Amino acid sequence: MADHELACSSVNVNIKAEEIFHMGSLTSPDKAVRDKAIEYLKTGMDIAPELGTDIVTCCPLGDGHEYSFQIDYAQAWGWFIEGVREAASHRADVKLSLEYKLNETRAHCILGTAASTLHLCDQVGLPNVGVTIDLGHALFGLETPSLSIVQAAHANRLFLIHVNDNYRNWDWDLVPGSVNWWDWIECLLYLDKVGYDGWLVSDVMPARLDGIKVKSAVAKSIVRGEKLLAKVNHDTLWAAIQQNDAFAAYDLMYAALGLDD
């Protein structure tokens, strides 16, 4: 990485893919499986500083359920809190950032929303536990991504951002701004407002397209969004927003795009 002048944004610990985690990792009824998931997280936290990062991110998609009466929710939630607390206590100098998603691979994921994830962080009670907001997951979960950003930042739990896009019907991992353009611009605006200075991680799937072109499109979308916002008078924009005047805000945006000339 150093030879190519690359930096590591985070270490992603996978506690969902292996067969033993298919019925849960931190919420598995088998204590040996729960312990293994915790050990994976601790190992990731040890590796992170070696790679020059202080963030471990994890999306526990194997933890959840499909049917009524399938799991004991109280027991599972308690195990999840205990597991995250034990892992995060391993070292205070590394952040454990939890990525939520409404569903997939489970029909209902235990961390399905920004609110439930922030509640978990509060119950764990450690300052190095926070949230990875995947913009596509927020869109797919019918959240307003900018509101989720503000909520996490307000709690000092906004640790990492994954950028992508979709049609709100599935987690398609498309280029950010390719579908929900104004949501994307609003996210960039609010990331600046809350003082986020972390990574914007490209969580985009090239699928049938050229991977280099797709990743280049992600970078261009970030730069274009920032250039657009740089052309807008922010005092005027925030005055419009704080007066609940969305159309005045749109006028400023369209003028910055040169569409009112």
> What are the residue boundaries of the structural domains of the chain, listed by start?
2-209
pLDDT at residue 12 in the model:
99
Cβ contact 155:123 at 8 Å: no
pLDDT tens digit string along 85-127? 999 999 999 999 999 999 999 999 999 999 999 999 999 999 9
Quick count: other Cβ atoms within 10 Å of Cβ 221?
21
pLDDT tens digit string along 154-167? 999 999 999 999 99
The dihedral through the CA atoms of 31, 32, 37, 40 has a sign that is: positive
Global pTM value? 0.97
pLDDT tens digit string along 53-91? 999 999 999 999 999 999 999 999 999 999 999 999 999
pLDDT at residue 1 in the model:
85
According to CATH, what is the number of the domain 2-209?
A: 3.20.20.150
CA 91 from chain centre, in angstroms, equals 22
pLDDT at residue 254 in the model:
98
